[in-house]
Structure 1
Amino acid sequence: MRTFAKALSLLLVVGLASPVFAEDAKPFSDAKEINLLDLLPPPPANDSAQTKAELGEILTIQVTRTPEMAARAVADSQENVWRFSDVIDNPKFTKENLPKFSAFFDRVVETEGAVVDPAKDVWKRPRPHLYSDLVKPIVSLSKSGSYPSGHTTVGTLMGVVLSNMVPEKRAAIMTRAWEYGHNRIVGGIHYASDIEAGRIVGMVIAETITTHDDYKTEYEGAKAELRAALGL
């Protein structure tokens, strides 16, 4: 856990202050460029004290979550930038009004799977409900490994990119991104260590793709379209 916290702090210091994609969406990076097997430690062992403690957290939330929390977790199963509509709080923040922005974020979202899925396939950490039949997920089940959380990765990644476009709302956007990841625990589909790893990976991806020329070009066009629509 200390390793995760240290890595997360370093990333913040250096400046990072089933989904549906467009048919031609191409990831900005992949596992060849960002090898998570080199970046992250393996997940906690199934019989470890940490996994048992994290299972306890899931079970506690399972009996204490409110209907509102449950509904929010279910809604956040969607992997798209429009889940940030509540913090952007502008009626023009829609796919129809923002075609360049929408196409750009299709690529951002696609990048998560290209980076994360190969590592999931190696580690194959069982989802909480596969480890304990006491866990009753309220979100869609997944056949992929639990570690790291892809949803949390993409939520963090989207949050970083979106907050760079709208720095006026950075704190609210990143708070929302953190909630997006935590809702995977609320939904009973991930452990806390999956979420922590996903946040780190999301920030690493966000930092890495800013060096790519195609990203820079599409980012500027999407940002200009968004800020114009929002009147910023």
Structure 2
Amino acid sequence: MRLTFAALALFASLGFTPALAADAQPFITAKDVDLTRFLPAPPANDSVQTKAEIAELLTIQASRTPAMEAAARADAVENVWRFADVLGPKFNEATLPAFSAFFARVVETEGAVVDPAKDYWKRPRPHMLNKDVKPVVKLSTSGAWPSGHSTVGYLMATVLASMVPEQRDALFARAAAYAENRIIGGIHYRSDTVMGRTAGALIAQRLFLDADFQAGYGPARAELRAALGL
């Protein structure tokens, strides 16, 4: 991301130092929110629930359309700009440098909290248990529980809704669609996404208590609302 001199001056005046997305550091980690303490274990591989969830995936797979597949692939990226269909054309990286740097750290926070939990539970992805499951998104062999995409989707929606409460319901509806696309894409069980919603809420609650998060939140919120004309 290229930053103009004017943008850098604005950050300095606000007391906020932007970070490039590639260098973004999480606000908190699994040391702050240990999901293995707060979430239940996933259903067993041979459980009735897991078998039913695989059956659901196969049913969806048989009926998904090219448009559904395209939407699932588009939502495979983890960034806040997937909410542009709610917040409009002014919601973009070029016009929101402080906001962009702030949310890069929010996204990194999800991975720092969720990845250790995934590794702890090691729930196999659906295609690893049943060869008939054919994902249309990038394959992954990392633990499925909880869904990281669903977690970050609900986490981003929570933070965005606090910044733009006027769009709260639409933002959470978009997060739900973002999570659903992991099921449509064939890469997650439904229960993974349910746990992602819970994980996102747990992380968000802890984030809002973090001083570093709060220091960046104010400038990012102000920039966003100004760009949206709010």
Structure 1 and Structure 2 fold alike (TM over 0.5): yes
Separation (CA, whole Å) in 2 of partners of 1:192 and 1:101: 31
Aligned residue in 2 for 1:27: 26
Aligned residue in 2 for 1:58: 57
Whether the 8 Å CA contact 2:124–2:141 is kept in 1: the answer is no
SS in 2 for 1:164: helix
For 2:203, which of 197, 202, 205 is the aligned residue?
205
The number of aligned residues is 211
Shift of 1:64: 1.2
- For structure 2, which runs of at least 5 residues remain unmatched after alignment? 1-19
Aligned residue in 2 for 1:223: 221
Which of the pair has more CA radius of gyration?
2
For 1:139, which of 108, 131, 137 is the aligned residue?
137
Separation (CA, whole Å) in 1 of partners of 2:157 and 2:72: 17
Separation (CA, whole Å) in 2 of partners of 1:47 and 1:98: 47
Aligned residue in 2 for 1:46: 45
Aligned residue in 1 for 2:159: 161
Separation (CA, whole Å) in 1 of partners of 2:215 and 2:120: 34
For 2:102, which of 98, 101, 104 is the aligned residue?
104
Report the AA paired with residue 26 of structure 1: Q
Shift of 1:65: 1.4
Separation (CA, whole Å) in 1 of partners of 2:186 and 2:94: 33
Aligned residue in 1 for 2:7: none
Aligned residue in 2 for 1:17: none
Aligned residue in 1 for 2:115: 117
**RMSD over equivalenced CA pairs, Å:** 0.9
- For structure 1, which runs of at least 5 residues remain unmatched after alignment? 1-20
Separation (CA, whole Å) in 2 of partners of 1:137 and 1:86: 25
Aligned residue in 2 for 1:80: 79
Report the AA paired with residue 111 of structure 2: G
Question: Which stretches of structure 1, 4 residues or longer, exceed 2 Å deviation after superposition?
Answer: none
Identity of aligned residues (%): 61
Separation (CA, whole Å) in 1 of partners of 2:141 and 2:102: 27
SS in 1 for 2:22: coil
Aligned residue in 1 for 2:175: 177
